[in-house]
DNA sequence: CGGAGACCATACGGCAGCGTATCGATTCGC
DNA sequence: GCGAATCGATACGCTGCCGTATGGTCTCCG
């Protein structure tokens, strides 16, 4: 199973893990090398420098996320409401900790790096567009649909920020109720 | 106006600025010293080491935020709905960028530091309690009130994460609509 | 089998940050 | 005014990280 030799993808994958666990600051070539059980001699074979890795991460994340949201909101026989509940479930609760961690790390990164900020903006644009289309499919006018999408995504990301340990036993039920508020049953 | 001599508060204030701008990683004693136009000789007079500064930040933030939320949700003649709209306005939009930045940096910090995580959890507990009390004052039963508070805070924090530049011209209107959804007029 | 290229190790210089040690300057109590 | 406490400067060693240079070891192919 273990590839004898590393490639760009190996380093990118390790970099995203480091990003998820510790933010951009933790994607350092010597730490990644230790994680991959090689020396940085390997890294500088596959990448010109750390910048190149970091930019590959941005680009890869962007295209990946945009593809993902398009696929996730393509309703093949589903109703818009079902589609929305599906998207919500993808990020809800503990169902995708790595994805959520990367998402949050990315956004923290974007707060101080204009390149990351631009990437996140592009992804958000696409996501808001896709999700507000679903809300529009529910019969909402464009402004309301956009606002709902805005609320939808703010909730999703904000949920990852709220300390789970603040009241662990009440969160599950709260999430259910929030789901009902976010994607109304009968509009 | 300028105090001739620095004290703990001076360093703490600079530390929070650094936190807001660059996250915990950026609160470094030599950078703070440069910002304060002194050398770190001063720092190590007021603090044992970097840890002590960092823990003072946590403690100070905790007590400050808990006092704040208690004051903000004490409705002196206001209705619960007015109180909720007031709290929402405090964090909404661009009304308190430094506060929001610190809030987000704090939460990013909490994702990897258990001490920070515990502090944030304590603050969140208090906030959720105060805000769900307001929702309860609107006539909601406890579970619904908590869920609404959960949605309320997820939205507030998540909003700071959504890329503003994704659709700058539509955000203000969206926020208004979100406000109406978050704190219902007539429940 | 032998050379070329892919992949990685080793070793180095450089910088930035932490913390310590020591000494200088200013202020305040008495 | 003098000594002590307060506050800050300078200088040092240490560590972790980036990037480079150079050499070693496979593998593939002719």
Residue A98: CB atoms within 10 Å: 11
Mean pLDDT of chain B: 93
8 Å CB contact between B165 and A121:
yes
Note the Cα B136 to chain centre separation in Å.
23
User: What residue ranges of chain B have pLDDT lower than 50?
Assistant: 1, 187
- pLDDT recorded at residue B1: 41
Architecture in CATH of B58-182: Orthogonal Bundle (1.10)
Is A166–B124 a contact, with Cβ atoms under 8 angstroms apart? yes
**Average of pLDDT values for A158-187?**
88
Give the closest nucleotide to B10 (alpha carbon vs C1').
D7
Is A177–B121 a contact, with Cβ atoms under 8 angstroms apart? no
Is B181–A177 a contact, with Cβ atoms under 8 angstroms apart? no
Q: Is the CB of A42 under 7 A from strand C?
A: yes
Phi-psi region of A169 (alpha: psi -120 to 50; beta: other; left: phi over 0): alpha
Residues 6+ apart with CB under 8 A from A13: none
Measured between alpha carbons, how far is A96 from A79 in angstroms, rounded to an integer?
Answer: 24
Domain ranges for chain A: 1-47, 57-182
Length B60 CA → D7 C1' (Å) = 24
Strands (E) in chain B, as ranges, are none
Mean pLDDT of chain A: 94
Give the closest nucleotide to B3 (alpha carbon vs C1').
D7
Longest Cα–Cα distance in chain B? 60
pLDDT tens-digit readout, A28-85: 999 999 999 999 999 999 999 999 999 999 999 999 999 999 999 998 899 999 999 9
- pLDDT recorded at residue B166: 86
| pLDDT greater at residue A60 or residue A184 | A60
pLDDT tens-digit readout, A95-110: 899 999 999 999 999 9
At residue A23, φ and ψ (nearest 5 deg) are: 80, 175
Residue with tokens 């903006």: A121
Q: How confident is the model at residue A184 (pLDDT cuts 50, 70, 90)?
A: confident
Compute the nearest-CA separation of B178 from chain A (Å): 6
Residue with tokens 């910048």: A51
Query: Which pair of tokens denotes residue B65?
Result: 């935020």
DSSP string, A48-77: SSHHHHHHHHHHHHHHHHHHHHHHHT--SS
- pLDDT recorded at residue B162: 92
Compute the nearest-CA separation of A57 from chain B (Å): 18
Query: Which pair of tokens denotes residue A149?
Result: 């999408």
Write down how long chain A is.
Answer: 187
8 Å CB contact between A149 and A135:
yes
Instruction: Return the minimum-mean-pLDDT range out of A112-121, A149-158, B1-10.
Output: B1-10
- pLDDT recorded at residue B2: 52
DSSP string, A130-142: HHHHHHHHTT--H
Q: With pLDDT > 90 as the criterion, what percentage of chain A qualifies?
A: 87
Protein contacts on strand D: list nucleotides below 7 Å from a Cβ. 6-11, 16-23, 27
CATH of A57-182, one of 3.40.50, 1.10.20, 1.10.357, 1.10.287: 1.10.357
CATH of B1-47, one of 1.10.10, 2.60.40, 1.10.3470, 1.20.5: 1.10.10
Measured between alpha carbons, how far is B32 from B29 in angstroms, rounded to an integer?
Answer: 5
- Neighbouring C-alpha atoms within 13 Å toward the C-beta of B123: 26
With 0-12 / 13-18 / 19 or more C-beta atoms within 10 angstroms meaning exposed / middle / buried, residue A178 is buried
Is B155–A154 a contact, with Cβ atoms under 8 angstroms apart? yes
Q: Is the CB of B186 under 7 A from strand C?
A: no
């Amino acid at each position: 199973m273990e590839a004898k030799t590393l490639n760009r993808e190996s380093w990118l994958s390790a970099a995203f893990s480091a990003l998820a666990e510790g933010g951009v600051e933790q994607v350092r070539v010597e730490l990644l090398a230790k994680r991959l059980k090689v020396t940085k001699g390997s890294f500088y074979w596959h990448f010109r420098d750390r910048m190149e890795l970091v930019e590959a991460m941005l680009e890869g994340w962007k295209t990946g996320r945009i593809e993902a949201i398009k696929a996730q909101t393509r309703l093949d026989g589903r109703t818009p409401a079902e589609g929305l509940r599906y998207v919500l479930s993808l990020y809800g609760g503990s169902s995708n900790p790595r994805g959520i961690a990367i998402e949050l790390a990315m956004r923290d990164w974007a707060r101080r790096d204009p390149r990351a900020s631009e990437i996140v903006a592009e992804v958000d644009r696409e996501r808001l567009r896709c999700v507000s289309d679903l809300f529009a499919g529910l019969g909402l006018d464009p402004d309301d649909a956009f606002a709902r999408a805005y609320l939808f995504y703010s909730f999703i990301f904000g949920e990852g920020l709220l300390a789970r340990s603040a009241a662990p036993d009440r969160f599950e039920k709260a999430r259910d109720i929030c789901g009902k508020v976010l994607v109304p049953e009968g509009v």
